[in-house]
Amino acid sequence: MKNRYIEKYIYDDLLAKMVFIGGPRQVGKTTLAQKLGSAFQSYVYLNWDSRRDKQVIIKEMWEPEAELIIFDELHKYDNWKSHIKGIWDTRKHDEKILVTGSSRLDIYRRGGDSLLGRYHYYRLHPFSLAEVEGLFFSADTVTDSAPILSFNHKGKNMESLFQLGGFPEPYLSQSQRVIKRWQNERFERIFREDIRDTENVVNLSKLELLGSLLPGRIASPLSLSSLTEDINVSPATINKWIELLCRNYYIFKVPPYHKRLERALKKESKYYLWDWSEIKDDGPKFENMIASHLMKFCNFYYDVFGIKTRLNYIRDREKREVDFLLLWEDKPWMLVECKVGKPTNMNHIKYFGNKLNVDQKFFVIKSDRFDYLDKNNNIRVIPAEKFLMALI
């Protein structure tokens, strides 16, 4: 059973508070939870999708000797917030609580009996290159200043991760036959089970159509008006469904950055898949893979250390664009452009780097044939197999 990158931090937090783990279906939440459970003398695993476990949860009839209680998919229970609050407030000295779910557990704290202050929330991401190579961040503290990336390692599994994606089952299988069936099954379970169980969607077939169209719309600002025409629903419905797919970890959002940039675009966001293996074209697929690694990096620093890290992109009315801008404590920190082929026009990175006073600028290439510092523009051209190893 592979170690996961947030495992030690979750264990430490469990000793003081409840821990919620959110993340996409089949990313390894249950496996991680049960592995954490094995560190205690005894634990109980209860899944709301199980008819038997439902009654155990509602009546609180699990083994009294259990040191850790794991609740899986508990957010599907309408009264879950107040229920778990009551358990924690009366038993926290005897039982530790770990909650996992394939929908964003953090948003369910709004309204009703707030759980704020009683838990820590983690987002579990698919495997990244550093993780499959066994390179883990292990520090217990970080400084407030943004880190300077160093590139001391080269990943050997870059191509297989690119082709198979980072979800444990297809990646560990190393089989194209496995991944095709796995993709179909995961799509059906997200759209026909997870969403159906938590949301009232009138036209599920059109929502599925939206899901099937999105892999072809990656790497560009998403035109909601175009989707409205293609699916024949209202703009308000498209907006609602996009948020629904974000909430259920099918896609994630990268908004535009416009502060200190007078002519920057402000409205249209980019969206990327949690599973980049669904994308057919290498260019958008590679950009999605880089986006996933950068988002994992941002979420890790926020979830573990409370550092306000955000992922954006930049585009202005003159059509200058850089794929990604990372913010560290709300300040521009790092610019990243990515490309499958050889590096081309670096003027946009240079322009926005000067405008935003960003020192760390990278042009990430899929090929390993380009690795140098462009001294004229102070831009590091670097293969993905080295760049991604410097992340989480």
pLDDT digits (tens, 9 = 90+) for 2-48: 899 999 999 999 999 999 999 999 999 999 999 999 999 999 999 99
On whether residue 31 sits in a domain, the answer given is yes
Cβ atoms of residues 124 and 21 within 8 Å: yes
On whether residue 298 sits in a domain, the answer given is yes
Q: End of a domain among 123, 152, 170? A: 123
On whether residue 1 sits in a domain, the answer given is no
Assigned token pair, 349: 């990175």
DSSP states along 255-301: -B--TT-TTB--SPPEEEES-GGG--SHHHHHHHHHHHHHHHHHHHH
Query: What's the Cα-to-Cα distance from 254 to each of 2, 197, 251, 389, rounded to whole Å?
Result: 29, 27, 10, 22
Find the CATH number of the domain harbouring 20: 3.40.50.300
Please report the pLDDT score of residue 107 as a whole number.
60
> Per-residue pLDDT tens for 374-386?
999 999 999 999 9
Residues 182 and 283 in one domain: yes
- Indicate the average pLDDT of the chain: 94
On whether residue 23 sits in a domain, the answer given is yes
> Per-residue pLDDT tens for 283-320?
999 999 999 999 999 999 999 999 999 999 999 999 99
The helix/strand/coil state of 20 is strand
Q: What range does the domain containing 105 cover?
A: 7-123
Identity at 363, one-letter amino acid code: F
Residues 315 and 173 in one domain: yes
Please report the pLDDT score of residue 285 as a whole number.
98
> Per-residue pLDDT tens for 165-186?
999 999 999 998 999 999 999 9
Residues 66 and 196 in one domain: no
On whether residue 139 sits in a domain, the answer given is yes
Residues 98 and 189 in one domain: no
b/e map of 338-370 (b: 16 or more CB within 10 Å)? bbbeebeebebbbbbbebbebebbbbbbbeeeb
Q: Does the pLDDT of residue 126 top 90, yes or no?
A: yes
Over residues 221-232, mean pLDDT? 93
The number of distinct structural domains making up the chain is 2
Residues 116 and 141 in one domain: no
On whether residue 2 sits in a domain, the answer given is no
Give the span between the Cα atoms of 13 and 367, in whole angstroms: 40
> Per-residue pLDDT tens for 35-84?
999 999 999 999 999 999 999 999 999 999 999 999 999 999 988 988 99
Beta bridge partners of residue 237, listed in sequence order: none
Residues 142 and 176 in one domain: yes
Cα-to-chain-centroid distance, residue 198? 20
Please report the pLDDT score of residue 109 as a whole number.
45
H or E element, residue 55: helix 51-59
The helix/strand/coil state of 249 is coil
> Going along 4-60, which residue ranges are E strands?
18-22, 43-47
Q: Of 110 and 244, which is predicted with more confidence?
A: 244
Residues 80 and 94 in one domain: yes
Residues 116 and 134 in one domain: no
Query: What's the Cα-to-Cα distance from 132 to each of 155, 160, 177, 310, 371, rounded to whole Å?
Result: 9, 11, 21, 24, 23
The helix/strand/coil state of 45 is strand
Residues 335 and 207 in one domain: yes
Q: End of a domain among 108, 123, 138? A: 123
On whether residue 210 sits in a domain, the answer given is yes
Residues 39 and 173 in one domain: no
Residues 144 and 224 in one domain: yes
Residues 241 and 295 in one domain: yes
The 43-47 sheet, strands edge to edge:
43-47, 68-72, 96-101, 18-22, 119-123
Over residues 121-141, mean pLDDT? 95
Indicate the pTM of the whole model.
0.96
Cα–Cα nearest to 339, from 383, 279, 374:
383
Q: End of a domain among 107, 123, 139? A: 123
Give the span between the Cα atoms of 346 and 175, in whole angstroms: 37
Give every CB contact of residue 272 below 8 A, 6+ residues apart in sequence: 218, 251, 252, 254, 287, 288, 291, 292, 295
Cβ atoms of residues 287 and 221 within 8 Å: no
Sign of CA dihedral 337, 342, 346, 348: negative
